[in-house]
């Protein structure tokens, strides 16, 4: 059901765990499937210096969270605003329709994180 890119990010997630010194932390959830994404970031003005995640959810949600942190770390707030659920899904080789909610959860996480940014 899932391609090798998704499975690789699920098996070996990047940037998972707590982030010491985070100055922005958010939690978003999908009430339909129960997935929960916690993002922690160190932000310096309009720059996302470092980011970590903790996700409780399905294979797709964990893989999407892993890719998301790579898309955000070291990037500007403007770059983060440009990330869409489709662009995130594309980086993972495309989610099956039933799993696309995982990409949307990550986009919801970005929106919540940017609301915490002084440059938002």
Tens-place pLDDT, residues 104-119: 999 999 999 999 876 5
Residue 9 confidence (pLDDT):
96
Backbone angles phi, psi at 3, to 5 degrees: -80, 175
Residue 53 confidence (pLDDT):
98
Residue 117 confidence (pLDDT):
74
Q: List Cα–Cα distances, 33 to 4, 21, 37, 61, 105, in angstroms.
A: 23, 31, 12, 10, 11
For 45-102, the pLDDT digits (tens) are 899 999 999 999 999 999 999 999 999 999 999 999 999 999 999 999 999 899 999 9
User: Rounded CA gap, 28 and 16, in Å?
Assistant: 16
Across the range 15-25, mean pLDDT stands at: 95
DSSP secondary structure letter of residue 83? -
Domains of the chain are: 4-115 (3.90.1010.10)
């Amino acid at each position: 059901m899932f391609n090798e890119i998704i499975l690789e990010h699920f098996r070996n997630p990047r940037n998972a765990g707590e982030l010491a010194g985070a100055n922005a932390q958010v939690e978003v959830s999908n009430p339909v499937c129960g997935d929960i994404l916690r993002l922690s970031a160190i932000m310096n003005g309009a720059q996302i210096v470092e980011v970590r995640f903790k996700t409780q959810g399905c294979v797709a949600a964990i893989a999407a969270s892993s890719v998301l942190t790579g898309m955000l770390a070291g990037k500007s707030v403007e770059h983060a605003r440009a990330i869409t659920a489709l662009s995130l899904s594309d980086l993972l080789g495309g989610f099956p329709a039933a799993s696309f909610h995982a990409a949307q959860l990550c986009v919801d996480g970005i929106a919540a994180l940017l609301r915490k940014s002084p440059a938002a």
